[in-house]
Amino acid sequence: MEIRGYKRIKKKDIKRWFKGSNLVLYVLILLLLFALIMFAYRTIAGMHNDNIDNELNNQTEDLDNESSLQEETSTYVAKNQSYRIRINVSKNIAVISTVDGTSENGRTIKAFHIAVNKNIKTGSTVISEKAEWRKLDNNGYAHYSSRLDNSEYICSTAYFTKTIGNMNIDEYNKIGTSLTYGSIFMAPADAKWIYNNCGINTSVEILSDFDIPSDADIKEFKKYNYIDKLEYFVYENYQDFLSKNSGEFYFFTRYGHKPHSSFDYSDKSKDIYLIFGKESTGIPKEILRPNIERCMRIPMTDNVRALNVSNACAIVVYEVLRQRNYEGLLFDEPHKDKDFIMID
């Protein structure tokens, strides 16, 4: 009963409200709502138009950038075709000169020792393709390879794997000599210069011999010293190393808790393996964790992060040798008199 009565009263009140002076107020409210709706509509439409304008502007900027990029690329290509490479097969020397017309052979930019296959195809050709790494026929890899249109190639000497620190030192030391295989090999720094500065279609002349320009500054090629005294092996990975070696393994890390001199290396019947990691990241944790009791640290100040690998190796190797009474080493100077200091 109360609900029905409420409904009847509500309807009567609404009719009475519309018939009275409140009608003007109601119209004003409707006009205000309409104005708000129109304002919202215009705001949204304006934002949409702004987005369209921005998109058009961005497209215009992209076109401008694309044009600039094309101009820069054209300049880069032109610049990278402004050199000529000449290969002297008999002297094992490469000469890079400009082609700006200042002289018959241009101005010499670089000249350096190389290793060339003495049976290489001679004649004129151009660079036709680039590859940061190239698979060689002898199961190695060459870095910074520039393939020539005659199927020969210019590249670094061989690496065992596609890793910067895994160079085949024996091949590197052949620079300056004639080969019976491959094409044109050189030091990685020289191969990289050609890779970065001599673009596609750069002229390359492979000649049996020619006079080296007088302005060519050819630095003496320095081989890796004493490499013939070192017995070294290359492994695919850590597991490959473990499968082929047995003995006492020691791991060096800045996070070790024992000094390197606290271990006993004196047992000459055991092979000692000192394992170091990269200077940047060290040995991976998955290798260190199972061998935590054999992880060691070279004590040092807190003013430096770490020693470089070569210094760390020297320190620890000599500690092992010290405990073994410097086995195999000489206590006196072999090349001059042992009393050289006292001789005037």
> In whole angstroms, what is the distance from residue 322 CA to residue 94 CA?
48
Residue 49 has pLDDT above 60, yes or no: no
% helix / strand / coil in the chain, to the nearest 5? 40, 20, 40
> In whole angstroms, what is the distance from residue 193 CA to residue 274 CA?
36
Least confident residue range of 76-80, 169-173, 187-191, 287-291? 76-80
- Residue-wise over 72-83: b if at least 16 C-beta within 10 A, else e? eeeeeeeebbbb
| Tens digit of each residue's pLDDT (9 = 90 or more) over 58-68 | 444 444 444 44
What's 83-207's CATH class? mainly beta
Segment 47-69 shows an average pLDDT of 46
* CATH of the structural domain 235-323, one choice from 3.40.1280.10, 3.40.190.10, 3.40.50.300, 1.10.287.130: 3.40.1280.10
**Which residues are bridge partners to 116 per DSSP?**
178, 184
| pLDDT at residue number 134 | 92
Residue 78 has pLDDT above 50, yes or no: no
| pLDDT at residue number 16 | 59
Instruction: Give the start-to-end residue ranges of the domains of the chain.
Output: 83-207, 235-323
Helix (H) or strand (E) holding 249: strand 248-252
Segment 208-226 shows an average pLDDT of 83
Of 27 and 203, the structure prediction assigns the larger pLDDT to: 203
| pLDDT at residue number 40 | 67
Segment 135-161 shows an average pLDDT of 91
Residue 43 has pLDDT above 80, yes or no: no
Percent of the chain residues topping a pLDDT of 90: 48
pTM above 0.75, yes or no: no
> In whole angstroms, what is the distance from residue 255 CA to residue 252 CA?
8
Least confident residue range of 37-46, 54-63, 146-155, 234-243? 54-63
Q: Write out the two tokens for 34.
A: 């309409």
Kindly report the average pLDDT of the chain as a whole number: 81
> Which of the four pLDDT bands, split at 50, 70 and 90, describes residue 100?
low
Of 173 and 42, the structure prediction assigns the larger pLDDT to: 173
> Which of the four pLDDT bands, split at 50, 70 and 90, describes residue 19?
low
| pLDDT at residue number 205 | 95
Q: Write out the two tokens for 176.
A: 């300056």
Identical fold at 83-207 and 235-323?
Answer: no
| pLDDT at residue number 220 | 81
> Which of the four pLDDT bands, split at 50, 70 and 90, describes residue 181?
very high
Segment 309-319 shows an average pLDDT of 92
